[in-house]
Amino acid sequence: MAKVAWRLGRCWCSSPPQVIGFPVVQLHMSRTAMGIGQKDFENAMNQVKLLKKDPGNEVKLKLYALYKQATEGPCNLPKPGVFDLINKAKWDAWNALGSLPKETARQNYVDLVSSLSPPSESSSQVEPGAYRKPPGYETLVVTSEDGITKIMLNRPTKKNAISSQMYQEIMLALKAASKDDSAITVLTGNGDYYSSGNDLSNFTDIPSGGVEEKAKNSALFLRDFVGCFIDFPKPLIAVVNGPAVGISVTLLGLFDAVYASDRATFHTPFSHLGQSPEGCSSYTFPKIMGSAKATEMLIFGKKLTAGEACAQGLVTEVFPDSTLQKEVWTRLKTYAKLPPNAMRVSKEIIRNTEKEKLHAVNAEECRVIQGRWLSDECMNAVMNFLSKKAKL
């Protein structure tokens, strides 16, 4: 789950804050790219570096493929191995262009960049009254009001998939909320989804140490991430505004209350992806809903409706989607008026007997999932998923 770094053109290791996680395409121009459209092509490459929003992996691959086609012509490199995820995806994108002429590829590249950053766009222009994110958060909206710190996942166009950056920011937000003056903390999502779970593009950044180093570092990071939820000292509430998938579901067993829209669903497709449970769900889910129902979710990947999740104890209460925000936030504002220290102490009494157990479960889950990430089964499943997604 380390930060994804795309190596398109030359190796990219870091970038300015406004383009975190975005590819930098080399500015070197080969002789074959010279000629008509050269200036526009160079301008387009410069514009790529100035884009403020990540357009997603599919567009990044198109940019890479068009650049290579425009500068080198049709793909003539040998196909990378199936486990070389980054280079295989790049090769597939380039090879798919076939015999597209260099001039056409150059024009398509310029057109694509123009569609992402129209000339009228200015990074310094902000509409009057437009929301400005607080310093330190790019994937979250964090607010504190009426005794409530609200942490809202804010990648609605990506169904609030949890990117490497979002993982980091959630940890920072939880640590800050644990020390602020609010009485309770709420996690929710912006848009139609609560969260579609782990952004699988997190798997594509392989460090120099190879997949073993990647798996080890990711497992350690996951352990720390889940630990923030185990140790959170205040009442922690989830407002599940839409579908929830993967780790956004498994973590719910560590929340103190879970309120959901009636259109929310709860899905943990670990076996489908060759992976294993995390977020302490291997312990909390059987305890909450019984081993048979937990097996259906965690092993067989059964998707629950909000009503089913409530009946099985994973969700505290379900609200009509049309009234969810009004009803839940009215209730939470009432809860936030209760003596905060009393709530902290009460949570400590309820949770402390389990903390040591939860940390042990978390460590074991991360040890197991590290092995799963290195398995052929998992790598093939993730590759198949990413391939199907790219074709949609």
pLDDT at res. 306: 98
Task: Say how far residue 289 (Cα) sits from the centre of its chain.
Answer: 27
pLDDT at res. 25: 36
pLDDT at res. 33: 38
On whether the CB atoms of residues 153 and 188 are closer than 8 A, the answer is yes
Most confident of 196-200, 204-208, 320-324: 320-324
Tokens 């609560």, residue located: 194
Q: What is the tens place of the pLDDT at every residue in 7-48?
A: 333 333 333 333 323 333 333 333 333 444 677 778 888 887
Q: What CA–CA distances, in Å, run from 133 to 55, 151, 244?
A: 19, 12, 24
For the cut 50, the answer to whether the pLDDT of residue 242 exceeds it is yes
Which range among 65-79, 88-102, 289-303, 358-372 shows the weakest confidence by mean pLDDT? 88-102
On whether the CB atoms of residues 154 and 193 are closer than 8 A, the answer is no
Query: Who wins on pLDDT, 66 or 340?
Result: 340
Which range among 15-24, 62-71, 142-151 shows the weakest confidence by mean pLDDT? 15-24
Mean pLDDT of the chain: 83
CATH of 17-116, one of 3.40.50.150, 2.40.160.60, 3.30.1330.60, 1.20.80.10: 1.20.80.10
pLDDT at res. 133: 44
For the cut 90, the answer to whether the pLDDT of residue 249 exceeds it is yes
Share of the chain above pLDDT 70, in %: 80
Q: Tokens standing for 28?
A: 């070197």
Q: Same CATH topology for 17-116 and 140-391? A: no
Confidence category of residue 160, pLDDT binned at 50, 70, 90: very high
Return the H-helix or E-strand segment holding 295: helix 291-298
Confidence category of residue 90, pLDDT binned at 50, 70, 90: confident
Which range among 84-98, 282-296, 298-312 shows the weakest confidence by mean pLDDT? 84-98
For the cut 60, the answer to whether the pLDDT of residue 1 exceeds it is no
For the cut 50, the answer to whether the pLDDT of residue 119 exceeds it is no
Domain definitions of the chain by residue range: 17-116, 140-391
pTM of the model as a whole: 0.67
What DSSP string runs through 64-122?
A: HHHHHHHHH-S--SPPPPTT-HHHHHHHHHHHTTTT--HHHHHHHHHHHHHHHS-TT--
pLDDT at res. 55: 75
For the domain covering 140-391, report its CATH number.
3.90.226.10
Which range among 95-109, 115-129, 377-391 shows the weakest confidence by mean pLDDT? 115-129
